[in-house]
Amino acid sequence: MELGPLAQPPKQPLWSWPDVLRIASSSLGILLGGSLAIGWGLRAAQAAGWASRTVLLAATMGIVFLEAAGLLGSVYLLGLRRRRVSWEALGLVPPTREWFLSALALGFAGMFLTSALAGLVQRLMGRTTDPQAQALAPIGFSWVAAAGMFLLVGLAVPFAEEVFFRGVLFRWMRDRWGVRVALLGSTLVFGLVHGDPPTIAAGWALGFILALAYEHSHSLWTPIVIHALNNSVKVILLYLALGLR
């Protein structure tokens, strides 16, 4: 397998720090503002006696959708369109066959590694429940919930997060400070945004793998496949376990 860096950094870096700040602020604002609106609507529904499993599921899926849409929309409108560059400039070009197969293997390996790390941190914290599982299945098992979470958490979110965290953040850090700083910096941020200690630890491990895959494969699709496989298999296993209860 050929290893090497992404195409040599252009004389003019793809991203500037104001670009990164605008994109990050916009996507965060969309997520926070939308989440507040959804939360207000959920409380209003509960006060009116309309609270139901369907309403709770719709609210949860709405927040997940906002994350993916906010990231992609901000990258496109405030980044690519504004700077008149294509998606291919981020690395959205097909990976080699070797790297595609490697992405499949790394996806499964990353899933086991991140699950083990998250479980270890949970045990060290003395937890008996998994907040991430509760967030992914807020109403327990249903086919609608399983399909929706697979599409959103398993596919849409990995694509959107890779576009931003690797295609924008890592790329900006790499062009400015080099590969080592980009690996550590983007991985640190990627883990921290997951919020909860077990998922932060898992995010750091997965983020490092994703950044390395992007750097060496020349294609953003490689970390997208790894990330999507990691997330989608976890969603499938979670709902399979719930359905067998």
Helix, coil or strand: residue 138: strand
Give the span between the Cα atoms of 117 and 159, in whole angstroms.
23
* CB-CB contact of 78 with 208 (8 Å): no
Q: pLDDT tens digit string along 9-56?
A: 445 789 999 999 999 999 999 999 999 999 999 888 888 777 678 889
Q: What is the pLDDT of residue 7?
A: 41
State the pTM of this model: 0.91
Q: What is the pLDDT of residue 11?
A: 55
Of 156, 180, 158, 155, the residue nearest 167 (C-alpha)? 158
Q: pLDDT tens digit string along 108-151?
A: 999 999 999 999 999 999 888 888 888 899 999 999 999 999 99
Of 13, 242, 32, the residue nearest 146 (C-alpha)? 242
Q: Is 70 exceeded by the pLDDT of residue 225?
A: yes
Q: What is the pLDDT of residue 49?
A: 75
Which of the two residues, 75 and 127, has the higher pLDDT score?
75
Give the span between the Cα atoms of 217 and 5, in whole angstroms.
8
